[in-house]
Structure 1
């Protein structure tokens, strides 16, 4: 198929494009930077500069590529994590999930693109009631990430209405995905907050990419949790990450002390977060993970 990957130079796009090319697809991948055009060409794609927030730029890029499927991987998350100021940190990403999604869907409709696959998020932001592990039938927490939650809800609603697939990726790890977190862990600036009982779900970039390829090839529809087999509380995964990184064991900080320093989102994630089940993706897409658990993946990746 002709596959248009919007955001192909991003941390996941750089793992996705080669997998699509290897399976025989013709890939057009976009970046906002001319400096990254060479990288995308090396990965086997036709490289295009596109501004996802400019409707004309998006329309022209999609019309030129004439794809069979569009894969929306556009984000703007880089630099040191700033969970305390989540809305500010995710401001551009929120626009890409709202305006950018709308521009891509309009371009798809204009030339009759058959299918649409979009990146969503499902790491710790399941509804904070009931059990600790959520399926696709459970709603996301509308208060988890401020304006980010609203942007995700918009993306999921319009993509599902258009007959596309929404992939709720867990927290990414793998080449280039957790460097900033690992640095904070090594500096002992990433503590376990409260009892560390909040759950998170992780996924290796290569596994996230392979699930995306399946969603593309099978023209999947609806919502899928793309996470590994082991959602786990912070008090388990964070000390393991530290050990794999050769760092000292993380400190423990009470929630009342962490709240003014790290912000409410960090406290919520560490103490009340809900993870996700991958049963639907494994059952309906036939997805098989190379890294079924973050325990194995952290160890191999940081060895």
Structure 2
């Protein structure tokens, strides 16, 4: 296998921390970035050459990529998660996702410009596929199905940003990896805390589907996309998209919490906003057939059922 020089933008993010050591373990030369100088030692320990970079500053991005001179750029830039108290629902999604939206749009533009300036031919970028499939037809969507733009809800601007990063990166000949709901150490801690406090209720009939993926499985799929110079859109999710009425009680049981409370849909809309009600009652999950076939991706946790039991800690 040819050694690849990989530039991981956002190496100290929740997925970047799992991606960097997997790339290093397979013999690749990794340069990883953080916006916080205090985290340079962490990247050193993970085996990467560490750089400080501001993903929203074109000059900072250009200089970092030029210094690394990579073969591939992996776009994993995400902001810090909001406090658990801010995540009781999606009512204020437009507020706490504002930085994420900028990283998906401006940050993507800066990375692609830097790639062009330095001759980097391949970019792999993060996207999202959890509950946001178009709300018509079946409960499980493939890459050929459109994403729901959630017009009129607080999720609309984020949905537009997701579409932007996919269109832009794929047009440049790269790959957009639609990660499902990430879980595992550091990824699901805030959600688990809400469940323990019984602040994450089951809404309405709980028929809305979600797709999940463990951090390590998502990182492994990203490594394969980097190595194979994958192109196009891929759903990086586990084998079992499931309704909220199944996964939420199971997750509660796995973390030793009481069963979730139930609230009517109209109450959820009033208290937590339309996006929360849609997710819990109308959300569509995703199929991973393409990723498994084209990337030869094998999952450590094929189902959230096993993953919640074994992979949260």
Check whether TM > 0.5: yes
The answer to whether residue 157 in structure 2 is matched with residue 147 in structure 1 is yes
Match of 1:125 in 2: 132
The answer to whether residue 265 in structure 2 is matched with residue 255 in structure 1 is yes
Cα distance in 1 for residues equivalent to 2:286 and 2:199: 26
Match of 2:73 in 1: 70
- Give the alignment partner of residue 300 of structure 2, picking from 280, 286, 290: 290
- Give the alignment partner of residue 26 of structure 1, picking from 29, 37, 40: 29
The answer to whether residue 148 in structure 2 is matched with residue 138 in structure 1 is no
Match of 2:112 in 1: 105
Cα distance in 2 for residues equivalent to 1:300 and 1:282: 22
CA-atom RMSD, angstroms?
A: 0.9
CA apart distance, 1:262: 1.2
- Give the alignment partner of residue 40 of structure 1, picking from 33, 43, 47: 43
Q: Deviations over 1:96-153 (max 9, x none)?
A: 0000000000000001102100000000000010000000000000117210011111
Contact 2:36 2:52 (8 Å CA) reproduced: yes
The verdict on how the C-alpha distance between 1:157 and 1:302 changes in structure 2, with shifts beyond 3 A counting, is: closer
- Give the alignment partner of residue 245 of structure 1, picking from 252, 255, 260: 255
Q: Deviations over 1:166-205 (max 9, x none)?
A: 0000000011111110111011110000000000000000
Contact 1:77 1:90 (8 Å CA) reproduced: no
Cα distance in 2 for residues equivalent to 1:150 and 1:57: 25
The verdict on how the C-alpha distance between 1:229 and 1:47 changes in structure 2, with shifts beyond 3 A counting, is: same
Matches within 5 A, 1:48-87: 48-79=51-82, 80=84, 81=87, 83-87=90-94
Q: Which runs of 5+ in 1 are unaligned?
A: none
Contact 1:83 1:89 (8 Å CA) reproduced: no
Q: Deviations over 1:39-72 (max 9, x none)?
A: 0100000011100000000000000000000000
Match of 2:276 in 1: 266
The answer to whether residue 17 in structure 2 is matched with residue 17 in structure 1 is no
Cα distance in 2 for residues equivalent to 1:126 and 1:25: 34
Q: Which runs of 5+ in 2 are unaligned?
A: none
Match of 1:275 in 2: 285
The verdict on how the C-alpha distance between 1:66 and 1:17 changes in structure 2, with shifts beyond 3 A counting, is: same
- Give the alignment partner of residue 220 of structure 2, picking from 206, 210, 226: 210
Match of 2:103 in 1: 96
CA apart distance, 1:301: 2.9
Cα distance in 1 for residues equivalent to 2:163 and 2:217: 24
Contact 1:53 1:95 (8 Å CA) reproduced: yes
